[in-house]
Amino acid sequence: MSDATAPEVAKHTLKDLFRAEALQEARNPAGTPVTPLGVSGWILTAFLVVLLAAALVFLFTARYARKETVFGQITPIEGSFRITPQYTGLAEKVLVHEGQHVKAGDELLVVSSDPLLQNGASLAAGLKLIQATQRRTQSQQESTRVEQVQRQIEELRTRQSGIKSDLQRLRDARVLLEKREALQEKNLKAHRALAEQGMVSEAYIRQQEDTLLGIQQQVQQSQREYESQSSRLAEIAPQIGRLIADAALARLNSTSSQADMQEKELNSEAQLGRHLQAPIDGVITALQARPGAPVTANQTLAVIVPETAIVGDNAQLEVELWAPSRAVGFVRPGARVRIMYDAFPYQTFGVGEGRVRDVSGTPVLPTDLPIPLDTREQLFRIRVVLNSTSLMAYGKAWPVFPGMRLSADLILEEESLIDWLLEPLRAARKRAI
């Protein structure tokens, strides 16, 4: 094939490979108009209108809650009692265990501050021995005194009984003498009548008169003896009364002395080995004391919670929150509270719910708070009623316990989003006015 025929062959080849319309389009450098593809304008406008309406509805209906996060703990509604010693020493005995039920007055702990003497003996043991010896000696002395008084009383009562017998004998003898006197007077009268008739001599009359005088002397002697014995009897009664009073006083002194000695023993025991008792019926929790462990004054060794606060569906528990002054202004009884327990992460267990029971009207210093909080301002106590004393997770209920630490969101107020957005403008307007 020659060079002249080559272009012709190429031209025919291109015509065979491409359509005529494609070749024509390739010769036009400006191209042809293209019809745009996409959403029509009215559809886009409708979408924007609906979106704006939804945004307005959301702004006017959605609620914004202003909240304040505070901290606190779970407490029994009836309160709890901390067992704290007023002195420093050693926990000599721990008589209870965690979770034990106790009654008011039960002994819980024995805290000893008993020093040792140079010979290694216990000061408390030595004091107890001395006090026991003193009490025994004093008791013996008082008993001896009471016995002596009792013997004297018995002797006087024996004498009193003898004198009463003598008085009865004297009364009987006097009755007989008075009868003899009356009889002798009758005889003397009869003999005087006979003497007047000359039937009885004057000597016999004088003899009868002498007999009457003798009888009268015996009556007088009996009367004097009766009066003397009566005087002795009258003197014995007051003596017996005084001795009875002395015996009663001796017993009273003995009782008082025993009480004084017992008080000294109790004071010694209180100073050297003191017994801590349960103030109420309840359950032992947070037991920190261990036998032989040192304790300090005002250290919390255990906590007693009322039996009504025992874990369960009916546990009488509440939340005690401590809020700053900026948070309590809008808090009212009945306000909602969201509770996040430290022991139960809210991401897994969710949050608890409650309602404000009351708000204290007096702030509390940070040093007087029952729980340590990193703050320097005074805080107000807020008591919250729990909707439930347990949380649901993993298909089971997880109860809360007294003493659990927590944080809570106080719902101070709720408003719509539009009000929240416009609030800065309103505040600026009020400041301007």
Q: Where are the domains of the chain?
A: 64-80+306-432, 81-103+280-305, 123-273
* Type of residue at 150: Q
Ordered per-residue pLDDT tens for the chain, 433 residues? 445 455 554 555 555 566 666 666 666 666 666 555 555 667 778 888 888 888 777 666 666 567 888 999 998 888 888 888 887 777 888 999 988 899 998 999 888 765 555 555 555 666 667 767 777 777 777 778 778 878 888 888 888 888 788 878 878 888 887 888 788 788 778 777 777 777 777 777 788 778 878 878 888 888 888 888 788 778 877 887 787 777 777 777 777 777 777 776 666 665 555 778 888 888 888 888 888 888 888 888 888 888 777 755 667 889 999 999 888 888 889 888 999 999 898 888 889 999 999 999 889 998 888 888 888 899 999 999 999 888 888 888 888 888 889 999 987 766 666 666 666 776 667 666 6
What does the alpha-carbon distance between residue 114 and residue 271 come to, in Å, rounded to a whole number? 8
Separation of CA 65 from chain center: 40
Q: What residue has token string 């409650």?
A: 354
Give the C-alpha distances (Å, rounded to integers) separating 13 from 21, 25, 103, 124: 16, 18, 115, 129
The DSSP element (H or E) to which 206 belongs, if any, is helix 202-272
Query: No. of H helices and E strands in the chain?
Result: 8, 16
Same fold, 64-80+306-432 and 123-273: no
pTM summary value: 0.49
Separation of CA 246 from chain center: 46
Give one word for 337, left, alpha or beta, with left for phi > 0 and alpha for psi -120 to 50: beta
What does the alpha-carbon distance between residue 423 and residue 183 come to, in Å, rounded to a whole number? 136
Please tell me the predicted confidence (pLDDT) of residue 118.
55
Please tell me the predicted confidence (pLDDT) of residue 34.
57
Residue-by-residue DSSP string for 231-260: HHHHHHHHHHHHHHHHHHHHHHHHHHHHHH
Beta-carbon contacts of 191 under 8 Å, excluding residues fewer than 6 positions away, are: 200, 204, 205, 208
Q: What residue has token string 């025929």?
A: 5
Q: Which of 415, 410, 413 is nearest to 353 (CA)?
A: 410
Half-sphere exposure of residue 214: CA atoms within 13 angstroms, side-chain side: 7
Sign of dihedral through CA atoms 153, 156, 162, 165? negative
Residues composing the chain: 433
157-166: long-range contacts, CB 8 A cutoff, minimum separation 24? 157/240, 159/232, 159/236, 160/233, 160/236, 160/237, 160/240, 163/229, 163/232, 163/233, 163/236, 164/233, 166/229
What does the alpha-carbon distance between residue 404 and residue 393 come to, in Å, rounded to a whole number? 18
Please tell me the predicted confidence (pLDDT) of residue 1.
47
Class at the top of the CATH hierarchy for domain 123-273 = mainly alpha
Please tell me the predicted confidence (pLDDT) of residue 386.
92
Please tell me the predicted confidence (pLDDT) of residue 246.
78
- Considering the domain 64-80+306-432 in this protein, what is its CATH number? 2.40.30.170
